Structure 1
Amino acid sequence: MTALTVTDPALRLLLVDDHTIVREGLKRVLDSAGSGWTLAEAVTGFQALEILRAHETDLALVDLSMPGMNGLELVRRIKTEFPAVRVLVLSMHSEEQYALRAFKAGADGYVTKDVAAIELVGAVRRVAAGGCYVTESLAEQVVRQLYGPGDAPLHSRLTDRELDVLQRIAAGQRLTEIGDELHLSVKTVSSHKTRIQEKLHVSNSAELVRYAFENRIADP
């Protein structure tokens, strides 16, 4: 475990993100909070589970988009195997669909990676103390999505697995690569792709990628 220098209750945190630069930035933010926290790091969901089995942890900060096991699956695994561990999702996606999926998977909070440092620290403290956290603007969107009369986007019909496959296709991965990372056959991945195209009313891969970019499911 890599120690950080800290002064509120000594929280034991696990940061799960496959991007080194993101982890380094988050560590600086948490360190500057001046709390007495300790921080462990994991690059993949599988590594995160190994750390949780070996070390007492209060809160896991989990990225949604990771190779292999994605963030949603990891959240579900954490809540099943370590129900006492609090989970705060850190995502580049501000869309309510991702927040909804994260909370349904068992997350206790959801923040985007572009939030101010003080807000991130506040979210960590609130979730670790047993509360839930979501930004006010995103909370309004989530409530509208759950109860409002507006039409839901087409991709709200996708399963978590289909959404994961769509993100990977938009990122330029071949079906064989996706199958290898998700431990699925190419035939199964191809079937997912077909169902995704049907649900999004697109007819080919180019339109699929365009939809993902236009709806902020992936970065162009």
Structure 2
Amino acid sequence: MIRVLIADDHAIVREGLKKILALTQDINVTAEVANGAEIIKRLRGAADVDLLLLDFVMPGVSGVDLIGRIKACCADLPILVFSMHNESQIAFRAIKAGAAGFISKDSEPEILLKAIRKVAGGGRYIDPALAEQLAYEAAFPEQRAPHALLSDRELEVFRMLVAGKRVNEIADQLAISNKTVSTHKQHLMEKMRASSTAELVRYAVQNSLFR
């Protein structure tokens, strides 16, 4: 039996996942949490979780930062990222941070179940469409999109700016200073060749980022 911990801040998503997994004979949901802090608290000393099904973006610490903290706490726990961000660079960064798999929330239930079984068994799984895009970008690095040049932290600041958060709000959520956030913002805007936050938002919309 594969024992799964679901981490997603939307109750309706958690309920939908539980209904899908309840139809199987070999997968059981042992617990569910709604943010990063709850994940760490639930996993400490736990021996009843074989796989973490993780939403990439949740309140508080999330994304690659959260994956890093989870791996520091539970190095051997397989993480399958289940995200609305159907974008190759997000998938690449999640895998690089320590996740064993990445699928989109647009995926069919069969893909979800296949990914859970593969990752729980020690393998890796990436949404086929994203895997194809990653392979193309690896073969033709000169054609990578501008946001592929951003560091993980710059991409996180980019996402939060697009979500409408102010510098001080980003600083509080990431536990860094306002000055550091402003520096990241300056660097990412230079790399993106953007002169305003509005241009960043337009780029994100045009490239289907952070949906």
Runs of 4+ displaced beyond 6 Å: none
1:134 pairs with one of 126, 145, 149: 126
> Which residues of 2 match residues 96-175 of structure 1 at below 5 A?
96-148=88-140, 151-175=143-167
2:35 pairs with one of 24, 41, 44: 44
Whether 1:32 aligns to 2:19 is no
**Corresponding residue SS for 2:144:** coil
Residue 203 and residue 53 in structure 1: after superposition, are their counterparts in 2 closer, same or farther (change >3 A)? same
Residue 100 and residue 208 in structure 1: after superposition, are their counterparts in 2 closer, same or farther (change >3 A)? same
1:95-117 Cα shifts (integer Å, max 9, x gaps): 11111111111111110001111
- Aligned-residue sequence identity (percent) comes to 44
1:216 pairs with one of 192, 195, 208: 208
Whether 1:87 aligns to 2:113 is no
**Corresponding residue SS for 2:143:** coil
Equivalents in 2 of 1:193, 1:128: separation in Å?
Answer: 38
2:7 match:
16
Equivalents in 2 of 1:149, 1:73: separation in Å?
Answer: 25
For the Cα contact (< 8 Å) 1:58–1:128, is it kept in 2? yes
> Which residues of 2 match residues 189-200 of structure 1 at below 5 A?
189-200=181-192
Residue 130 and residue 188 in structure 1: after superposition, are their counterparts in 2 closer, same or farther (change >3 A)? same
2:44 match:
53
Amino acid in the other structure paired with 1:71 = G
Deviation at 1:156, TM superposition (A): 0.6
For the Cα contact (< 8 Å) 1:62–1:71, is it kept in 2? no
For the Cα contact (< 8 Å) 1:58–1:84, is it kept in 2? no
2:194 pairs with one of 191, 199, 202: 202
Q: Any gaps of 5 or more consecutive residues in structure 2?
A: none
Equivalents in 1 of 2:23, 2:106: separation in Å?
Answer: 17
Equivalents in 2 of 1:195, 1:149: separation in Å?
Answer: 21
For the Cα contact (< 8 Å) 2:81–2:99, is it kept in 1? yes
For the Cα contact (< 8 Å) 1:45–1:71, is it kept in 2? no
Equivalents in 2 of 1:215, 1:180: separation in Å?
Answer: 28
For the Cα contact (< 8 Å) 2:6–2:29, is it kept in 1? no
Q: Any gaps of 5 or more consecutive residues in structure 1?
A: 1-9
Residue 116 and residue 36 in structure 1: after superposition, are their counterparts in 2 closer, same or farther (change >3 A)? closer
**Corresponding residue SS for 1:120:** helix
Q: CA RMSD in A?
A: 1.5
Deviation at 1:207, TM superposition (A): 0.9
1:64-122 Cα shifts (integer Å, max 9, x gaps): 11222112222222223212211101111221111111111111111000111121011
- TM normalised by structure 2 equals 0.93
Equivalents in 2 of 1:13, 1:185: separation in Å?
Answer: 36
- TM normalised by structure 1 equals 0.89
1:6 match:
none
